[in-house]
Structure 1
Amino acid sequence: MKKSKAGMIAIVGRPNVGKSTLTNALVGEKIAIVSNKPQTTRNRICAVVDRGESQFVFLDTPGLHKARTRLGDYMVGVVRQSVADVDAALLLVEPIPHVGEPEKELMARLAAVKAPTVLVINKIDTVRKEDLLAVIAAYSQDHQFAAVMPISARQGDGVGDLLDLLEGYLPEGPHLFPEGMVTDQPERQVCGEILREKLLLCLDKEVPHGTAVELTKFSERDDEVIEADATIYCEKESHKGIIIGKKGAMLKKISTMAREDMEAFMGTKVFLQTWVKVKENWRDNLNLVHNFGYRDD
């Protein structure tokens, strides 16, 4: 009889390299929000993949960047804590034959914790296969990788092969999460993140990075409809006007897109109401950073 295996695997890399896209591809459904803007992920997201007798627990982390706010300090701290006690780690990079400072810092941390590290070269659909040799050579000079895996997280290429490889790093033992569970995030938190993703998608420049979402109500009615009241916080009065838009058009667009994704995730109808409030410089206010769910405990 095949013995059960389970292990924790950190996914690390610089901002915007595709960590959340890979997390969703591994799970097979959307649990991590995705945008083309850096620093989309703020918390560590736990994604659970059951495959036969094996259970993979992936930790999707914020991109390692130079922190400029209290929120930024928190995000960098999440990355550092996430690699401290894992069975393996994935360093996700773009197919560029140059090792940047964020990657060098991450490789130094991974070397210190001595977890086997797989170099995962993402976005291979954007380059020729022969160009990957130079990327592998550049990274192999700085770190002893257990393996190298080229993938396209967006297209799903190589994701199954990556799971095959990682199964060899899982220790024998009982599963860490119940069968069928895909994330440790509460449904309320996932839905709040979905709304924040739509802010990132629809808004330009500095506005979306200064937003936070708080679900003040999240309950199921007798007819199984989820009632959700959400407050969007921004840092400036001018940003509030941009989020609401002319005659409320932008807020309506954001809310409609969020509601549709929430319904897909929850598997039921969602009645969503949204409001916009100003909290000046909240990203530098430790109490507000904690209030909006960015805390270590």
Structure 2
Amino acid sequence: MNTTSEIPHRAGYVAVVGRPNVGKSTLVNALVGAKVSIVSPRPQTTRHRLLGIATFQDGQILLVDTPGLHSSGKRAMNRYMNRAARGALMEVQAAVLVIEAGQWREEDGLAYQALAEAGVPCILVINKTDRIKDKGELLPFIAKVTEGRDFIAVHPVAARKQDGLRPLVASMLAALPESPPLYGEDEITDRSERFLAGELVREQLMLRLGEEVPYSTTVEIERFEEDGNLLRIGAVIWVEREGQKPIVIGKGGERLKEIGAGARTAMEKLFGRKVFLELWCRVREGWSDDEAALKRFGYAE
């Protein structure tokens, strides 16, 4: 905590909201300084609300990473993700609307409308500015997207390169109440290692599988045991159709081995210890449109 009396310590919750694939989780990880949210180039990689704890000298920002708000998709999973994103707005002091530099789509408007209806003070973050070759295009774009919309601050950033984050942090802290830290200085998330292990396996599925299959998969951790400095983890990759199982496993089990190796490496880096990981692939027909299955696999408010 800051010991100078001139700068009060602030702490509170900030929802990170936006359409799929604008870089919300990348931004959360950059602010926290550790990988608490999985990232892939695919939309809807984030399926859960997740808290990232960013601690600074004069404040603590509790970042609520949310699934991307989207208008398409009628399945139970899509409804769950939209509920999770909108529900996050009920318990925060401020919000960040993340959009992609040079783009304003219908779903960006949907996300802004959800924030306006919730009455949450909102900061606009224009991400991926490193992809804009002519930076002179940014000012007209900012003028266009802010016209008729109420933002307490606007920040162009490149979260992947950690550019523009300091001014953003200052704006976020200014929107929060004076408060002592709400979590310990060394805490980075409210989620368990067991939950994070499942997410890291799912990240590998998003990165390594073809177009549609990743959206039909989920991960269930069946075993999570500490053996001295070793973690023994057993995980089931669930798919929706029998024909998807050989795609996940690959010829001679090679793809499943690659998924396991990538996930294990990420776990060891995050958890700071050795990991023994076993993976299985099983079929549960239509799980993503089955409310009971969603609850079993941890998709619950």
* Correspondent of 1:42 among 47, 50, 54: 47
Structure 1: state its 5+ residue gaps. Answer: none
Displaced runs of 4 or more, over 3 A? none
CA apart distance, 1:105:
2.0
What TM-score, normalized to structure 1?
Answer: 0.96
Residues 273-284 of structure 1: matches in 2 within 5 Å?
A: 273-284=278-289
Q: Is 1:194 the equivalent of 2:194?
A: no
Q: Is 1:212 the equivalent of 2:186?
A: no
RMSD between aligned alpha carbons? 1.2
Residues 139-150 of structure 1: matches in 2 within 5 Å?
A: 139-150=145-156
* SS of corresponding position for 2:161: coil
Q: In structure 1, what is the Cα distance between the partners aligned to 2:213 and 2:113?
A: 34
CA apart distance, 1:52:
1.0
Residues 106-255 of structure 1: matches in 2 within 5 Å?
A: 106-127=111-132, 128-222=134-228, 224-255=229-260
* Correspondent of 2:92 among 86, 89, 101: 86
Q: Deviations over 1:110-129 (max 9, x none)?
A: 22232221111000001121
Sort the Cα spacing of 1:53 and 1:137 in 2 relative to 1 into closer, same or farther, 3 A: closer
Given that residues 207 and 239 in structure 1 are in contact (C-alpha distance below 8 angstroms), is that contact kept between their aligned partners in structure 2?
Answer: yes
Q: Is 1:28 the equivalent of 2:28?
A: no
Structure 2: state its 5+ residue gaps. Answer: none
Q: Deviations over 1:38-87 (max 9, x none)?
A: 10000011000110131100011100112321011000001111122321
Q: Deviations over 1:209-243 (max 9, x none)?
A: 10010110001113x10000000000111110010
* SS of corresponding position for 2:160: coil
What TM-score, normalized to structure 2?
Answer: 0.95
Q: Is 1:10 the equivalent of 2:15?
A: yes
Q: Give the partner amino acid of 2:143.
A: A
Paired positions, count: 294
* Correspondent of 1:100 among 102, 105, 113: 105
Q: Give the partner amino acid of 2:285.
A: E
What residue is the counterpart of 1:289 in the other structure? 294
* SS of corresponding position for 2:90: coil
Q: In structure 2, what is the Cα distance between the partners aligned to 1:85 and 1:236?
A: 38
* SS of corresponding position for 2:204: helix
Q: In structure 1, what is the Cα distance between the partners aligned to 2:231 and 2:50?
A: 23
